[in-house]
Amino acid sequence: MADGVAKALRRTVIRSRSVIAGALGIIFLGALAIPSEARPPLRPNGGERPMIVDARAFGVVGDGVADDGPSIARMVAAAQRATPVTLRFPGRRTYRVASAPNRYIFDLHGSNDLTLDGGGSTFEIAPNLRLIRLTDCSRVTVRRLKVDFRPLPFVDGIVERVDGQAGRIMVRVPREEWSRPIGGPTHEDGEQAYFGMLWGDGAYGSISRHCWIDQIEAGSEPGEVVVRPTPEFREYPGLIPGRWKISLPVPGIAHRYGPGACVVVRDCRDVRMRDLEVWSAPWMAFEVITNDGALVFDRVHVRPKPGTGRLMSSWRDGFHVKGNRASLTWEGCILEGMNDDAFNISTHASRVSEVLPDGSVAVDQRYPLGYVRWRPGDLLVAVDPDSRKLRGSSRVSVVEEGNAPAPIQGEPAAPGVTVRLAVPITGMRAGDIVWSAEAANPHTALRRCRIRQSCRLQSPVTLEECDVIGLLWFYADPLEGPYPGPVTVRRCTLRRGRGNHENVVVCSGGSTTGAPDGTAPPRALHDFRFTENRIYGGFIVEGVERVTLRGNRFLEAGASVTLHDNVDLIDRDQRPSSARR
């Protein structure tokens, strides 16, 4: 036994160019022998150089067949108390992972100064698992890895026949995958909104339609399945057999929330991800919520696995981004094949439940999960949700959280909050929508990204030199919120596609009341700049205050440009005469 431990020790810590590797290894083993609650953080070499924890020391195989889950779990447990530390995997291998504690393979809580280096390898993981969860971590780097699910959460097929009267779509799928999509919703493990995705050819790329599914049955011959949509589906006439394709959900895998997104970054500070790829996901690919500091995503792609001919990647958002105080940067990322938004960037707004006599304001978060905390010093912004006019803003001096309500489906729910303002906001009343400007992703940039799906952008954002085929939607919504502004889109190529087959940009900030002063300032959507873009498709800006259009080229003949009910519009573009203000 002692000999085995000694051999494991010699393999555990690999520190090149260090004459004290053996001594450090002994220290490391001694720490592992101490109960975890009593173990002090390890700082090898005085914290000057990271401890290298090599996956080979824990028995990983990397042949794509053996379950490397137990070995990786031991590796993560060993490194959890070390700082700084690098978890390193041999390069360009395939790691099959069928088991993991807490259903996350790399479940890191409270880790600091940690690097996870996948060496360019691929992690093929079981569909009930997820890849990475970072919570309360600081100064973390994740780099050089790819993830795919096995088995996949979808089966791609070709529409073969359509019978709208009988409510059936006959689909040809690969024979070896014929049985996988047969069945229907299970309503288990947080399964949501059971649908398939229909794919057709658009002017500039794929267009898509949701097909809500009641049941999928075996067809009359091998390789054929019969899709029975729910009664809500009415789009049979537009489906051309042989030209339309469909991604079918696999029962018990697709649409399951399970433990969460494939990659979660929550309540962290200073995280960098570089050279990551997500090729498939049963639900969301990335969730980025309530972080501080700086988060950078450099060449992080969510797309179908290259060279496979697959149609889709994740069943939900590529990046679901909520309530961050951190600066957020995406650089050179590719977003393609997801069946919800490529980016949903927003925060959870709150509703004023009462304005108290002392000037304090009682608020309740509209969506109760994913609590976005208020902090003293935050700038509270208030909006009338009907007219979409700004009430005003004021600094928060005191925050009082109420008792935590009962969890919702095992998730902690947001408490009621009372905030005291430095200066009361004139006219604020119950029902108004409020949010913290600091917690609404105030410094967000997408640079040189290739995006092939719609984006819902509800907080300040800059898009620069991006190539987009899909709808960019800047809008006012009291549930997710807040209300986007400032917004800058410059030197981008924008083409209509997924999300809206006619329009490529929609900025919808108009009043819903129809009142004569409904367009009067100040507006909830404000400070929009579109400069030097190439635009193919409909372009709508309405109900926005301070809009600048300069140097844009509208290149699709017949596409409409609508500028309506805006305030302080600076228009330096030459466009078709069909545009209206």
Residue 82's nearest CA partner among 166, 164, 24 is 24
Residue appearing with tokens 């009067």: 520
Q: Average of pLDDT values for 187-191?
A: 95
Let me know: does 154 contact 129? Beta carbons within 8 Å: no
Q: What is the pLDDT of residue 38?
A: 32
- Write out the E strands in 412-544: 417-421, 433-436, 444-447, 450-451, 455-457, 461-464, 467-469, 472-475, 487-490, 493-495, 503-508, 526-531, 534-536, 538-542
Question: What pLDDT is attached to residue 520?
Answer: 81
In one-letter notation, the amino acid at residue 463 is L
**Higher per-residue confidence, 388 vs 453:** 453
Stretch 139-151: mean pLDDT? 98
Tell me the CA distances in angstroms from 153 to 100, 106, 125, 168, one per residue in order: 19, 21, 11, 22
User: DSSP 3-state assignment of 202?
Assistant: coil
Mean pLDDT of 489-510: 96
Q: pLDDT tens digit string along 339-376? A: 999 999 999 999 999 999 888 999 999 988 889 999 99
Between 24 and 568, the higher pLDDT residue? 568
Q: Fold match between 154-249 and 350-439?
A: yes
Question: What torsion do the CA atoms of 478, 482, 487, 491 make, to the nearest 10 degrees?
Answer: -70
The residue with greater pLDDT, 476 or 295, is: 295
State the Cα–Cα distance between residues 133 and 98, nearest whole angstrom. Answer: 17
Predicted confidence at residue 8, as pLDDT, reads 35
What CATH topology corresponds to 154-249?
Elongation Factor Tu (Ef-tu); domain 3 (2.40.30)
| pLDDT at position 577 | 52
Collapsed DSSP state (helix, strand, coil) of residue 346: strand
Neighbours of 21 (CB within 10 A): 15
What's the confidence (pLDDT) of residue 369?
85
Partners of 461 in the beta sheet? 487
Q: Residue 558 has what pLDDT?
A: 94
The pLDDT assigned to 37 comes to: 32
Cα-to-chain-centroid distance, residue 245: 25
Q: Reply yes or no on whether the pLDDT at 48 is more than 70.
A: no
Cα–Cα nearest to 206, from 491, 469, 431, 427: 469
Q: Which fold has domain 350-439?
A: Elongation Factor Tu (Ef-tu); domain 3 (2.40.30)
Residue-wise pLDDT for 113-142, tens only, equals 999 999 999 999 999 999 999 999 999 999
Instruction: Say which CATH topology domain 2-151+257-335 has.
Output: Pectate Lyase C-like (2.160.20)
Q: Tell me, yes or no, if the pTM score tops 0.75.
A: yes
For the chain, what are the domain ranges?
2-151+257-335, 154-249, 350-439
Per-chain mean pLDDT for the chain: 90
Instruction: Work out the pLDDT band at 411, boundaries 50, 70, 90.
Output: confident
Count the neighbouring beta carbons within 10 Å of the beta carbon of residue 110.
14
Distances (CA, A) of 270 to 137, 329, 348: 8, 12, 22
